[in-house]
Amino acid sequence: MAGYRELADDLRRRINEGEFAVGETLPRIVDLIDEYGLAKQTVRDAIGVLSDEGLVVTSKKAGTFVRCRTQVHIPLSRYRNVLAPGGTRGPWESATADQGLDGYMRLVKVDRVAADDSLAGLLELQPGDGLVYRLRHAIIRPDDVVQFQQAWYPQALAEEAGINTTEKIVGGVYGALIAAGYRPATASETVSARPPTLTEANALRIGGRVNVIALERVTKDREGRPLEVLRAVGPADRLQYTYDDLPLTSEG
């Protein structure tokens, strides 16, 4: 074996063939040195290639282990499934459950913030107006963080709907909005792909060569009043958005 690229090729083959399962650690560097007869730096470089590709995750405590790459299918119908108060699942939990995955939403932070120019424009407010900010992690149990979600709501609306709380909103925010008399009617989403920031790569356990999908959603009610701005980021090799049954012609 000539060098690190060839070693990376062989380790990749062993991972893809199932010799090392998801969550399983690769042999230690010293063991790979003995097995392949290569220098320590060569082995490190090979593991670096696999890390950049998103095949493995390196940790000082846990070593190098095989990263989960199970795709999560996220259809537009995830909204329709939760547009009723009293339910127990939000859109993420509904979408993952339909695929036999144990997904849940972890609330990380709730805060009161002032609208910047961008958020003020999207929510049809004035810069500096009060907003309620919610940061959530979309997870597949036990602790596979697949997506970050940041959401902003006009402060008065959030307080009336009870989504300014630091408690998890059982059944999702949409159900809480409807229960308060604010029925979501349209959701406009913009989806783009880009390289991850260092913070995103570390938190999502991906290498720098795995792009992320960045989504921005603006939800409005029947009168066209903005209710929510949501921005979500997740690894592009894990998330698949489907916009199903969209009308191709207008009726009139």
Query: Which stretches of the chain score pLDDT less than 70?
Result: 1, 78-87, 250-252
What contacts 49, CB < 8 A, 6 or more positions away? 4, 5, 8
Question: Which phi-psi region, left, alpha or beta, contains residue 22 (left: φ > 0; alpha: ψ -120 to 50)?
Answer: beta
pLDDT at 170: 80
Residue range 209-247, pLDDT digits in tens: 899 999 999 999 999 999 999 999 999 999 999 887 777
Q: How many CB atoms lie within 10 A of CB 236?
A: 16
Task: Tell me the one-letter amino acid at 26.
Answer: L
Domains recognised in the chain with CATH numbers: 4-66 (1.10.10.10), 72-242 (3.40.1410.10)
Q: What is the pLDDT of residues 87-100, one digit of tens each?
A: 677 788 888 988 99
What span, in angstroms and rounded, lies between the C-alpha atoms of 157 and 163?
9
pTM: 0.85
